[in-house]
Chain A
């Protein structure tokens, strides 16, 4: 399987996906 980090587009997409995950974690950890 190709490493997603080899693709700049996939890297940026994963960055935004991780942001959504982190936002959920911020709300969960500060509740």
Chain B
């Protein structure tokens, strides 16, 4: 068993969980931005509560905890691979485009994680009525959460370039 469960296997296991979590996070982010938000205006009024009351809260649960799992497993993975601190300082001085690339990917991912937990989720709680808010505050919260979600969709494109290019030999 010791020959199978090696340190390299644990590194791989964290990479596996990191990718599983990331697929769920970015998959749900793209579901919100490519499917749910553009479709909402076309949904008949009597059916809209099905989205707001049932699908959205469930999707947001998996969305924010997938974001948490992605960053935690990613930081552990970087530490296990020995490049966490080098990547945080964007590989400056290391002369390694792979470290710089994963560093940019980590910073972009960290900004996206911050947006999920400190902008999107607190504002969605107002929209969903989980925290008290007036109608005007709910409208403003929905706008801010929506724009931040769009910003994360924008950032996901270079973030994934950085994450993949660092490990798959483009440099």
Contact = CB atoms under 8 A, between A and B. Distances in A.
Contacts of B99: 30
Contacts of B90: 29
Contacts of A27: 97
A15 B147 contact: no
Interface stretch (B52-60, B69-77, B127-135, B157-165): B157-165
Range of interface residues on chain B? Answer: 20 to 34
Contacts, number: 63
A8 B158 contact: no
A13 B143 CA distance: 21
B95 interface: yes
Given A22-B104, A25-B104, 12 more contacts: A5-B147, A8-B34, A11-B154, A15-B153, A19-B161, A22-B158, A22-B162, A23-B161, A26-B162, A26-B171, A29-B100, A30-B101
